[in-house]
Amino acid sequence: MLVVSSLVAATAACTPAASPRVECQGRSSLSSIDPRSGVASWQTALGQASEVPMQVEDGTVVVTAPCGAAVVDLVDGDVRYDDATPGELVGVTDQRLFTLDEPEGDNHPITSFRLDTAEPAGSYSINTRFQDATVADGSLVTLYGDELRASDQTGTGPSWDLQVPADRDPHLVRSGHLILVTNGDGSIFAVDLADGSLVWRTIPPVTATSYGLRVTSVPGTVLTAASTSDEKTRTVVYATEAATGRLRWTRPAWIVLGADRDLTVLRTAGAVEGVDTVSGALRWRRPATRIDLPDAHPEAVPVVALTRDTVVLPQPGSPALGLDRSTGRVRWRGPETWTVVAAGDVVVTAVSDRVTALEARTGAVRWSRPVERHLQELTVAPDGKVLLLDTDIVPHLGA
């Protein structure tokens, strides 16, 4: 049973002594930058260090740290929350932040905090483990057992319950107006966020007993990278029509490096391929350093940036390549980088001690600005601004 309660006493904060996760150290700064001029409209200091990609939710940018979180207003950089949390960040609404906390005996709570005061606002607990949780369209969506539930948090969000077979470490993934439930047996259930109705169900087009699934969503299409966990590892990427779940195409590939409604860039064991997102037809193929797939980790491969004319391909240890998106031919070679994002016809890269913007068609430097810390995370806001997190190294991951 799901129990909802208000909190009277403050929840214990995550401190180096109390948290089994990591030490709570490090700081960062967050900036909103015009991609064409390099001018920052705002910059704010944060008491969190993070190596997790930022999330843009409900008019805010959310920074997830090992022992806390920060929530910053996208318009003016106002810090709405910057504090420790008792568990892993689930998401935010316009007024509250939610965390999935460590179990307390038979109690497995999700705690909410007010963004304006950082005070605990309520808790949700069950006597079995939450398998996953997220915030979408003003509702807290939870999965426990076979129960998928949306609980309105704003007065305007949906509320519903649905029985969904959940198997082997299931996860919730947002895909447009859908919530996808991915399972270790390879099945994916697509549920309409508005009313909780089951829209479609798919299974991978290769037979196995166990799978690892990574989902990428673009308008009209759900791309799934599936790797089998049987005696012989196999990898495949398949495309599903978002509205119906109909299988569009399947290709032998490892992961999706980037995609939009027209082009999908895949990584195979020995190449980078550009394929048509709708049909799966191969447009171009470039040889790449061979990867030992059974031992490879997708997080160890940088993603590409897609613009109207160019695919920017980072190559750790070598210059980044600007590829013609139609042919895959090299247009330009740029600085070595791990992180790159596209904002219109400008690509922004994190290079050594600087962040540099390049013209997507030519690779010409548009602007460059120094950074102060060891690591940089980049993302693009809905208004086209580039969000730069200049952060210390997370203690348990490095120096």
**Is 158 in a helix, a strand, or coil?**
coil
pLDDT digits (tens, 9 = 90+) for 38-51: 999 999 999 999 98
Q: Please, which residues have CB within 8 angstroms of residue 219's CB and are 6 or more apart in sequence?
A: 176, 242, 260, 261
Q: Which tops the pLDDT comparison, 341 or 23?
A: 341
What's the whole-number mean pLDDT along residues 280-307?
89
pLDDT in tens, 161-210: 999 998 888 999 999 999 999 999 999 999 999 999 999 999 999 888 88
- Tens-digit pLDDT profile for residues 48-78: 999 888 999 889 999 999 889 999 999 999 9
- The answer to which of 73-87, 125-139, 256-270, 346-360 has the lowest mean pLDDT is 125-139
**Whole-angstrom distance, CA of residue 23 vs CA of residue 381:** 30
Q: Is the pLDDT of residue 12 over 60?
A: no
| pLDDT value of residue 392 | 92
Q: Are 320 and 336 in contact (CB under 8 A)?
A: yes
| Residue 357 and residue 347 in contact, taking contact as beta carbons nearer than 8 Å | yes
Would you say residue 128 has pLDDT above 80?
no
pLDDT of residue 23: 55
308/326 Cα distance (integer angstroms): 10
Mean pLDDT computed over 359-366 = 96
- Mean pLDDT lowest among 149-153, 249-253, 298-302, 390-394: 298-302
Please check the confidence at residue 119 and state whether its pLDDT lies above 70: yes
pLDDT at 14 over 60: no
Q: Does the pLDDT at position 371 exceed 70?
A: yes
Q: Could you tell me the maximum CA-CA distance found in the chain, to the nearest angstrom?
A: 62
Averaged pLDDT, 100-121: 84
pLDDT score, position 157: 81
What is the model's pTM?
Answer: 0.90
Distance of CA 298 to the CA centre of its chain: 13
Checking if the pLDDT of 274 tops 60, the result is yes
In this prediction, residue 229 has a pLDDT band, given cuts at 50, 70 and 90, of: confident
Conformation bin of residue 317: beta by default, left when phi > 0, alpha when psi is -120 to 50: left
Burial code (b: 16+ CB inside 10 Å, e: under 16) for 164-193 equals bebeeebbbbbbeebbbbbbbbbbbbbbeb
Which has more pLDDT, 176 or 292? Answer: 176
List the Cα angle 365/368/370 in 5-degree steps. Answer: 155
pLDDT band at 372 (very low <50, low <70, confident <90, very high): very high
pLDDT at residue 294 in the model: 67
Mean pLDDT on 366-387: 94
pLDDT of 18 = 34
